[in-house]
Every structure is written in C-alpha cells, then in structure tokens.
Amino acid sequence: MPEFCAISATSLPPCRANRNVVTGDMEHFDTLILGAGAAGMMCAAHAGHKNGKPGGGVLIVDHARAPGEKIRISGGGRCNFTNLHTDPAAFLSANPHFCKSALSRYTQWDFLDLVARHSIPWHEKTLGQLFCDHSAKDIIAMLLAEMSGANLWLKTAIRAVRHDGKLFTADLERDGTPVTVTARHLVLATGGKSIPKMGATGLAYTLARQFGVRLTDTRPGLVPLTFGDDVMARFRPLAGVAAPVRISAGGTSFDEAMLFTHRGLSGPAVLQASSYWHEGEAVLVDLSPGVSLFDTLRERRTTAGRKALATHLGDLLPARLAADLVAAHGLSGNLADCSDARLRQVADLLHGWELHPSGTEGYRTAEVTLGGIDTGDLDSRTMECRPCPGLFAIGEAVDVTGWLGGYNFQWAWSSGWAAGRAIAERA
Ligand SMILES: Cc1cc2nc3c(=O)[nH]c(=O)nc-3n(C[C@H](O)[C@H](O)[C@H](O)COP(=O)(O)OP(=O)(O)OC[C@H]3O[C@@H](n4cnc5c(N)ncnc54)[C@H](O)[C@@H]3O)c2cc1C
C-alpha cells in the first residue's frame, strides 16, 4: 500500500465518546471524511444528520494540528467567506455547467443565514465580497459547532485506503498509533496543491485515480505572474506601484488593481487573470480602463499644450509608472507638438500594453489549484464518483475553481453541503 503522508502526531485531540462500532483494533463509521478544511467541515455538519437532527457516525480526519487552517489565514485573517454575486459564470471548469446544481441548492444566502444564526458580524468590502468584522476564527468556530455530532481526529496521517466493493478501509496513524477504520462512505476533501507549507498534498488526486476516477490537468490559479530577467530589470524599480487597470487573459477581463512587486506582477487584477492565462500567451493591460486617453490628451492639448506629454502622463498614471513608460517608449516633447495620429499611438499603447509573462509563482503562493478531479466522473447533485459508488469528492480537489473574492469558499460550502445531504438522505 502506498505511503500517502507522514505528519507525526504528538498528542490526541479530544474526540467524541459516541464513536461507532469498535471491533478489535478496527473502528467502523458510516462516513469517513478526509480533510477538515472548509468543504470537509461543511460536509461533516450535514452527513451525520438523521431526520433533520445531528447524528453520529461521521469521522473527519486531518494531518494538521487545527481544522480549517486556510480559513484562518484567508482574507488577511478576516475570511472573505462568500460573494453576494456568486454565479456559475465566476467559476472555471472543463464543464462550466457542473457547478450549477450545488451552487443553486446551497447558495450564498444560505451561508449568510448560517452566519446570522451564529451572530457573526460581517461587512461587504467591495464587489460583493463579504468578510468577518472580527476574525476568520469565527467561521471556524461556527463550523465546529455545526459539526459537533461528528468525531474530529487531528494530527492523523492517512497511510492507505482500500475498498472491497462495499466498505472503505483506511489505515490511519493517530498519535503514532496505527488505527484502522472502515466506512460505508468516503469523502475526498483534502483540497488541492496550493501552499504545501500549509499542509496541501495531492492526496485527493492519488485516491481518486486509485478508485478509477479521472483527473484533469492541474495548475496554480490566483497566483502572481513572473517575467524574464530583461522585463524584471525594468519592473523591479517599480515595486510597490499600484494602478487600477483592466487586464485581459484568455478572453476574460477584470477591472481591479495591479501591483508591481520585486518578483513580477500581483494584485487582484493579476491574480484573477492568472487563472485564465496559459504559458506562452500574452496578457493585455489597459492602464486607463473606461476613460479614453486619446480624448483626454486631445482636450489637454487645447488647454495645457505647452506642458510635456510626460508631465500629462504623470498626472494620469502613477508617476513612477508614467516615467518608466515615457523612457521605454520615447514619449518626449510637448503635448502641443503631438498630432492626432501621435496621440492615438500613445493612447493605443497605454490602453493595450502587451505583456508576456514567463510563468507564475507556482503552488508556493497560489490561492487555488485549477483542474483536479474530473467532473465528468461526478454526479453534480451529490458529488458522488460514478466509477466508485460510496466515494465522494468536494471542494478544491474537484475541477471547479472560482474567481478571487469569496467564490472558492462558496464552492467549498455548496459542494460540501451537497455531499453531506446526499449521505444523510441515504443513511
Ligand atoms: C492564502 C489564501 C487565502 C485565501 N483566501 C480566500 C478567501 O478569502 N476567500 C475564498 O473564497 N477563498 C480563499 N482561498 C481559497 C480557499 O482557501 C480554498 O478554496 C478552500 O480552502 C478550499 O477548501 P477545501 O476544504 O476544498 O480545501 P482546504 O481548505 O485546503 O482543506 C483541505 C484539508 O485537507 C488537509 N489535508 C491535505 N492533505 C492531507 C493529507 N495527505 N492527509 C490529511 N489531511 C490532509 C489539509 O490539512 C486541510 O485541512 C484562499 C487560499 C489561500 C491559500
């Protein structure tokens, strides 16, 4: 059997006494959920319900020391937990229709109701993005309260999992002690590959493949873009400059801020575009989204034509960026001396600045993993894997990835809920 992971356990976390059947050193649960992140905890909150009430029979395991670590650090510690404008169009997948069922059955409004029931104060920051007023820990505490009927084993390594056609058997290592667990249902909720330092592994993919479920190619998403040495020599002095832009990649555009860093380009606009960008392609940056630079410069030529073009650009763009563009493209002379054709040239350059990233910062800093468990092998209503009945896949491990702005957590809640409900209904 393969060795999947090796995070050592040092002490036993508290767990419920009402564990299911214990036979020798084998323990039986109705449902075993691998991964106590956003999707796994949501699923645990619902999978054990019987007749609408929390029941037992659910075990959720994680190799981390605490549940929901990505929730804890998300949104600068305040967790952007959903988006008011959640819509299937904000998700990338080989099958863009797949996410519709779960997102429409457990919506952003359902999650907001839950947040309200737990009296968690929140606010909208921008673009429908909802954040906790106090701390992301409020969301984790809420999920733990909701899944109080389930058993939670932390610091638990998953050594091997097998299926005999009826039951799943998992060899676990808890506090250095091997434990074997059997379950009727197995839920893959170990997320994607982003930020290995935070405990991300490819376990869900390994297990999916083991049970005959197909995978789509994976790549980092919502990640800063990097550039070759020549471009970086130019960009590095601009580190810290931010500008509102419209950025386009792979046929999709975003109007948000772009930030120059010592390693390349970041900021919300760039993170969004990175999910649509493929190696070898260009990204187009409009440095004056929605405002015609040609019209603006022509008007200024009448009112303040004696000033240098560079001075005008310094007014219209961040000064350091304007100076860079002036130097790089030889934008010298007074505005009064610029013909309409010249102004058109300058405006076209700044509305359609073509950049050629050499790559991304990779999984080290990516907020999400694009691709993953092939939705073609999943039932969109239940998240059950067709090639292996009883096996479910939820959250980031699945080939459904949202935009920046609370969409990815909403997918975790919706898909976790869908699987949890389906399991509860058949219990
Ligand atoms: C820095 C950062 C900030 C983010 N901010 C936001 C935000 O504000 N809003 C938003 O919508 N999205 C945000 N995201 C994305 C969001 O965190 C993920 O989409 C979401 O957490 C996915 O939920 P999940 O349950 O599928 O996976 P995860 O939350 O990653 O949970 C997976 C769990 O499985 C465990 N695990 C993994 N491998 C193993 C293994 N081999 N053995 C045992 N356990 C294992 C992990 O420890 C983890 O607890 C952010 C991501 C990052 C990295």
Please compute the mean of the pLDDT values over residues 163-180 and round it to a whole number. Answer: 94
Answer yes or no: CATH 2.40.30.10 is held by domain 224-360.
yes
CA of 154 to the centre of ligand 1 (A): 15
User: By C-alpha distance, which of 261, 243, 252, 259 is closest to 281?
Assistant: 252
Q: How far is the CA of 70 from the centre of ligand 1 (A)?
A: 5
109 membership: H or E segment, kind and range: helix 108-117
Query: Is the Cβ–Cβ distance between 1 and 171 less than 8 Å?
Result: yes
How many angstroms separate the CA atoms of 55 and 3, rounded? 32
Rounded to whole angstroms, what are the CA distances from 66 to 35, 71, 86, 179? 11, 11, 28, 20
Indicate if the pLDDT at residue 18 is higher than 50: no
- Residue 362, pLDDT > 70, answer yes
DSSP single-letter state for residue 90:
G
Q: Identify the residue whose C-alpha is closest to ligand 1 atom 31.
A: 37
Domain ranges in the chain with CATH number 3.50.50.60? 22-219+369-426
pLDDT digits (tens, 9 = 90+) for 269-317: 999 999 999 999 999 999 999 999 999 999 999 999 999 999 999 999 9
pLDDT tens per residue across span 63-120: 999 999 999 999 999 999 999 999 999 999 999 999 999 999 999 999 999 999 999 9
Q: According to the model, what pLDDT value does residue 53 have?
A: 61
pLDDT (mean) for 130-156? 96
The packing angle between helices 293-304 and 309-316, to 10°, is 130
Question: Phi/psi at 89 (nearest 5 deg)?
Answer: -65, -15
CA 372 – ligand 1 centroid, Å: 14
Q: Is pLDDT of 144 > 70?
A: yes
Portions of the chain given CATH number 2.40.30.10: 224-360
First and final C-alpha spacing in the chain: 30
For residues 347-364, average pLDDT: 97
For residue 204, give the ligand 1 atom closest to its CA. Answer: 38
Cβ count within 10 A of residue 92: 19
Task: Write out pLDDT tens, residues 211-222.
Answer: 999 999 999 999
Which pair of structure tokens corresponds to residue 295?
């019209």
Strands 58-61 and 26-34: parallel
Residues 187-211 have a mean pLDDT of 96
CB of 129 closer than 6 A to ligand 1? Answer: no
Q: Distance between alpha carbon 73 and the CA centroid of its chain, in Å?
A: 13
- The DSSP 8-state label assigned to residue 344 in this structure reads H
CA of residue 330 to ligand 1 center, whole Å: 47
Minimum CA distance residue for ligand 1 atom 29: 37
Q: Whose CA is nearest to atom 5 of ligand 1?
A: 74
Residue 190 near ligand 1, beta carbon < 6 Å: yes
**CB distance 328 to ligand 1 below 6 Å:** no
Q: What is the DSSP letter of 197?
A: G
Q: What is the mean pLDDT of the chain?
A: 93
Could you tell me if the CB of 195 is within 6 A of ligand 1? yes
For the stretch 22-47, pLDDT in tens is 555 789 999 999 999 999 999 999 99
- Confidence tier at 9 by pLDDT (50, 70, 90): very low
Residue pair 288/350 in contact (Cβ under 8 Å)? The answer is yes
Classify domain 22-219+369-426 at the CATH class level.
alpha beta
Burial of residue 336 (number of CB atoms within 10 Å: 0-12, 13-18, 19+): middle
Task: Note whether 419 and 382 are within 8 A (CB).
Answer: yes
- Predicted confidence band of residue 391 (pLDDT cuts 50, 70, 90): very high
Residue 426 is predicted with a pLDDT of 87
Confirm or reject: Cβ of 80 under 6 Å from ligand 1: yes
Cα of 184 vs centre of ligand 1, distance in Å, is 25
Whose Cα sits closest to atom 50 in ligand 1?
367
Q: Is the CB of 363 under 6 A from ligand 1?
A: no
What are residue 177's DSSP bridge partners? Answer: 174
* For residue 246, pLDDT beyond 50: yes
* pLDDT, position 175: 82
Take residue 134 and report the two structure tokens written for it.
């106090």
Tell me the CA–centroid distance for residue 110 and ligand 1, in Å: 21
